[in-house]
Amino acid sequence: MTRKCFVCFMFLEVVCFIVIGVHGDKNLPARKISDGNYHVTMRKLQSFKTSLTRHDSFASTPSSSFAPSPSSQPAEGMNNPRVYHVTSYGADPTGNSDSTEALLAAIADATNGPSEGYLMEGISNLGGAQINLEGGNYMIRRSLKLPVSGVGNLMIHGGTIKASNDFPNDGYIIDLSTSSNENDGKNSPSSSYNFEYITLKDLLLDSNFRGGGISVINSLRTNIDNCYITHFTTNGILVQSGHETYIRNSFLGQHITAGGDKNERNFSGTGINIQGNDNAVTDVVIFSAAIGIMVTGQANTFSGVHCYNKATGFGGTGIYLKLPGLTQTRIVNSYMDYTSIVAEDPVQLHISSSFFLGDANIVLKSMKGVLNGVTIVDNMFSGSNQGVEVIHLDKSNGPFHQIDQVTVDRNVATGMNLKATVAKRSLQGNGTSWNVDFNNILLFPNLIKNVQYSLSSTGSSFPNHAIRNVSDNRVVIETNEAVAANVFVAVDQSMSS
């Protein structure tokens, strides 16, 4: 192959010489080759020459060698892209043999490659180095970890990775945590974060019912984009500490199903487990797991999430907010498909513009009786006429006794009991007393904080009237004489105490 390439180069050089020489001969007709045609011809020749060079370079690389490809090693004096092709390290793209060492070798070269200053202090900027899986299917026997912490601006993308039958049950296919070889402390970064701006993109990760998919530990600005994670037993994605892990356009499921699975009662594991602050999950589908998203960190946001994991009727939960006392969570534009949202003692929780199907609802669970700063508005609920409340107060551990700034309003429901903190009713009668009952509408049993009413008499008299009692979600209005009147009453449980 080398000899063939050499002959081609010689031929191209002769052709280039002839073209240039003809163009420079003043005795030939002036329009033989125009300046424009000359440059077009030279560009075509250069493109052809480059294609031969690339073909020869790749073809001459032994597939069984762990040596990096020419494209992954910058030549002296050249600014080559830092793309590390895993097959050049001996990775088997058929998935028939173990590719663990080959993938780790590519990762090691990328993380130890040239850097361009720092991102956060102590985190080297790898300049956008890419580990290209080349659309292959690779089997691994242990977690893929970066060999050193304190690096950033790195991407792993474009292929399938599957755990082997002897993969550790507590492992993750891609594990962004500190490596065990850093125990001497020599490689520890001065930054308080392990990694920054790591991108995991266009990946299918199959945990083979052994452990989890991706673990992000104490990292900053991590991107998980367009990933399909399946067959996990622990977590599809675990985010622990750190800041700003963004998970988007991805699909997660323990079992590959499109709903109505006969084994749904046996689903286990958690799709996404967020144990840190300031993260976002956007446009993500969780199609099988016991819990869709478990949240134990503050100030996270969820948008466009579709959970149809284990149905609540089978003991599953769509989104579980397990951080009583300081929730700080926003859930918007999401689709809870037979799976509920559960929040323990929520403080600062916003749920809006979402759709709840199949008796899926919102459960506010009392732990120490705290409910503060909760807004649940503009949602749609669709049920099966079984008397399920759209907002259920779970008081199995005790009643809520610290309730403040809770607004539940402008939701609509079919086949479910609609509850709110704001209600309006009108009553027509003839007499001296009007008793307006809001018990089947208001969320809390005895917490009306504000009442507004009007009385419109149809007679010729002008009676005196007043609110005589507000208790047990009832408003009693009396007049000083019997009249025929229409009474309109608006009550509010959401105003600050």
pLDDT tens for 346-364 read 999 999 999 999 999 999 9
| 74 token code pair | 């910058």
> Cα(229)–Cα(289) distance, rounded to whole angstroms?
12
> Cα(329)–Cα(343) distance, rounded to whole angstroms?
10
Contact 208, 167 (CB under 8 A): yes
Per-residue pLDDT band at 462 (split at 50, 70, 90): confident
The whole-number pLDDT of residue 192 equals 87
- Specify the higher pLDDT residue, 191 or 295: 295
- Specify the higher pLDDT residue, 357 or 82: 357
pTM of the model: 0.82
Per-residue pLDDT band at 40 (split at 50, 70, 90): low
3-state helix, strand, coil in the chain (%, to 5): 15, 45, 40
pLDDT surpasses 60 at 463: yes
The whole-number pLDDT of residue 43 equals 54
> Cα(393)–Cα(411) distance, rounded to whole angstroms?
17
pLDDT surpasses 80 at 171: yes
| 35-59 helix and 2-24 helix, angle to the nearest 10 degrees | 170
Mean pLDDT, range 31-58, rounded to an integer = 47
The whole-number pLDDT of residue 182 equals 55
pLDDT surpasses 60 at 71: no
Winning range, highest mean pLDDT, from 70-74, 203-207, 429-433 = 203-207
- Specify the higher pLDDT residue, 69 or 348: 348
> Cα(200)–Cα(179) distance, rounded to whole angstroms?
18
State the chain's mean pLDDT as an integer: 86
Rg of the chain, C-alpha, whole Å: 33
CA distances from 323 to 241, 345, 347 (A): 14, 8, 9
Quickly list DSSP for 25-55: -TTS-TTSS-HHHHHHHHHHHHHHHHHHHHH
Per-residue pLDDT band at 76 (split at 50, 70, 90): very low
Report the range of poorest mean pLDDT among 12-21, 33-42, 240-249, 306-315.
12-21
CA 228 remoteness from chain centre: 12
> Cα(20)–Cα(115) distance, rounded to whole angstroms?
42
Mean pLDDT, range 57-68, rounded to an integer = 39
Mean pLDDT, range 194-218, rounded to an integer = 97
Q: Give residue for tokens 């704001």.
A: 422
Mean pLDDT, range 149-156, rounded to an integer = 96
Element (H, E) at 225: strand 220-230
- Specify the higher pLDDT residue, 70 or 218: 218
Per-residue pLDDT band at 460 (split at 50, 70, 90): confident
Per-residue pLDDT band at 190 (split at 50, 70, 90): low
The whole-number pLDDT of residue 187 equals 47
Mean pLDDT, range 278-293, rounded to an integer = 98
The whole-number pLDDT of residue 461 equals 80
Q: What percent of the chain has pLDDT over 70?
A: 80
The whole-number pLDDT of residue 173 equals 98
The whole-number pLDDT of residue 29 equals 40
- E-assigned strands of 6-136? 83-85, 124-132
pLDDT in tens, 372-421: 999 999 999 999 999 999 999 999 999 999 999 999 999 999 999 999 99
Report the range of poorest mean pLDDT among 37-51, 221-235, 381-395, 481-495.
37-51
The whole-number pLDDT of residue 79 equals 47
Mean pLDDT, range 38-65, rounded to an integer = 45
pLDDT surpasses 50 at 75: no
> Cα(494)–Cα(313) distance, rounded to whole angstroms?
30
The b-or-e profile of 406-432 (16+ CB within 10 A means b, else e) is: bbbeebebeebbbbbbbbeeebeeeee
| 213 token code pair | 């998919």
Mean pLDDT, range 440-457, rounded to an integer = 93
> Cα(428)–Cα(485) distance, rounded to whole angstroms?
6
The whole-number pLDDT of residue 16 equals 41
| 179 token code pair | 């490596």
The whole-number pLDDT of residue 77 equals 33
Q: Give residue for tokens 């007049």.
A: 479
The whole-number pLDDT of residue 394 equals 97
